[in-house]
Amino acid sequence: MTNLSKEEKIAKLESLINEGKSLFITRAYKQQEYSYDIYEESSPRIEYYSDVNHDAYPGWRVDSLAILKSFLGEDSIYVKEFEHNCKSESTENNLRQGLGTLEAARKGLNENTVPEETFVVPQSVEVREKPNQQQILRRLLNELAAKLAGAMTFNQIAKIFFESGIIDTPEKPYGKYPGSKSDYVLEKLLASQTKDGFPEMLSTIQFDLCYASNGPLISDKDLVYLMTLLGYKQKVLKSEDDPDWDPSLIPPIILTNTGGQKEKEVHKRIMIDNLPPNITVLIDELNDNLDRNNSNASALLIRKILTMSCFISLDKIEKSAELEEKELNEALSITQKELKISSRVMSKVRSAKWLGDSANHSYKIKINESDVEVAATGLRIFLEEIF
């Protein structure tokens, strides 16, 4: 394995900085105006406000912190500043603080004022506990979702998915799919995990990503590293400068647990069949956090699942537009009305929502473990009611 040069480290930090800047987004909502002379509504006015991509922020923050630790060591002032100022809540201030720390670290490396840790490719993220196969696969799918979304159009992604066997019929999702490109990729990949030849499908997608840009053929080291942990092998070990270099990876027959150890069994509080793929991913994450007694993280995930569930359930009956620009409390009321959910169920749901609000309000609040268990029960009842 080859050590990263100073220039490569700076380039990686610049990539994270650019990715972070792209998380600032502009949202819009309709502000109804009234004419008090004639006492009737006039045309609505569109109001705009800045916000953060709440779905992409957690992954960017975790990757940034891991890279800083790998480059500079856990005791580095930059790592401590990032941990202290760039909190898990996806706010504009936290994002700006994180970007500022990354900018300072990049400048320090460039000016040789920052002591470096030895960094080995492709182990870009060091972990104290070796992750199990399920965790590695989940991270790989998230990485693929982000990278495909950044490199291709909706319809290009769908074309590759059809050719590789991820989807069975051709699709043109642009303008039709209700979510983002990343959501589309993740949904299709999760839905195809049980298909025969799924490891080979991932290998095909990774290969196509190498040719996604108009520039030279490039293999993504993070993807290759994660895939080798799952049992993939490099086909031809040659330099990327070699004209005969082949970026293909030979897939395993099955995705094995590369840790060589029995995976820790997670006691699943919530087990519901046939949930939407995006909800399933969050439920797996919630079960994992519940098992590790991460009460605050669990409360935040419960709140996120409630929000997403409202939109997905009403989208099935083509009424999700009613939830646009609505707070979660209003969204729950609309969902209750449209799906005719009993007040008894909703009382448990609102208790779960309140707990999530508390965790979302301040990271200093310590959520009680028993309260989380009650909230998880309320969430389970709600999901069984609407799906």
Which range has the worst mean pLDDT, 19-23, 72-76, 232-236? 232-236
Instruction: Give the per-residue pLDDT at 259.
Output: 37
pLDDT tens by residue, 58-115: 888 888 888 888 888 877 888 888 888 888 888 888 888 889 889 888 888 887 765 5
| Sign of the torsion angle spanned by Cα atoms 361, 367, 371, 377 | positive
128: DSSP letter: S
How many angstroms separate the CA atoms of 371 and 167, rounded? 41
Q: Give the residue-averaged pLDDT of 374-385.
A: 88
How many angstroms separate the CA atoms of 258 and 291, rounded? 22
Q: How confident is the model at residue 3 (pLDDT cuts 50, 70, 90)?
A: low
Q: Which residues of 26-65 are buried (b: 16+ CB within 10 A; e: fewer)?
A: eeeeeeeeeeeeeeeeeeeeeeeeeebeebbbebbbebbb
| 40-41 vs 34-35, strand pairing mode | antiparallel
Instruction: Give the per-residue pLDDT at 116.
Output: 54
Q: Is there a cis peptide before residue 122, judged by omega within 30 degrees of 0?
A: yes
Domains of the chain, by residue range, sit at 6-110, 133-250, 277-386
Instruction: Give the per-residue pLDDT at 290.
Output: 83
Instruction: Give the per-residue pLDDT at 310.
Output: 92
Diameter of the chain measured on Cα atoms? 77
- Res 260 pLDDT > 80: no
Q: Give which of 337, 301, 298, 297 is closest to 319, Cα–Cα.
A: 337
Q: Give the residue-averaged pLDDT of 265-280.
A: 73
pTM assigned to the model: 0.38
CA distances from 163 to 58, 159, 171 (A): 32, 6, 11
Q: How confident is the model at residue 29 (pLDDT cuts 50, 70, 90)?
A: low
Mean residue pLDDT of the chain comes to 76
**Which fold would CATH assign to domain 277-386?**
Four Helix Bundle (Hemerythrin (Met), subunit A) (1.20.120)
- Res 361 pLDDT > 60: yes
Which range has the worst mean pLDDT, 30-44, 154-168, 268-282, 332-346? 30-44
**Burial class of residue 121 in the structure, from the number of CB atoms within 10 Å of its CB (0-12 exposed, 13-18 middle, 19+ buried):** middle
- Res 256 pLDDT > 60: no
Give CA torsion, residues 356, 383, 135, 106, to 10 deg.
-40
- Res 192 pLDDT > 80: yes
- Res 191 pLDDT > 80: yes
- Give φ, ψ of 228 to 5 degrees: -65, -30
H-state helical runs in the chain: 6-21, 57-72, 77-85, 92-110, 133-151, 154-164, 181-191, 198-210, 221-229, 277-291, 295-315, 328-339, 343-361, 369-386
Instruction: Give the per-residue pLDDT at 108.
Output: 81
CA distances from 187 to 158, 199, 306 (A): 12, 17, 18
Beta bridge mates, 50? 26
**Residue 180 CA, distance from chain mean position:** 12
- Res 118 pLDDT > 70: no
Q: How confident is the model at residue 249 (pLDDT cuts 50, 70, 90)?
A: confident
Q: Does residue 45 sit in helix, strand or coil? A: strand
220: DSSP letter: -
Q: Which residue has the higher pLDDT, 234 or 15?
A: 15
Q: How confident is the model at residue 264 (pLDDT cuts 50, 70, 90)?
A: very low
Instruction: Give the per-residue pLDDT at 37.
Output: 46
How many angstroms separate the CA atoms of 204 and 379, rounded? 38
* Cα-only R_g, the chain: 23
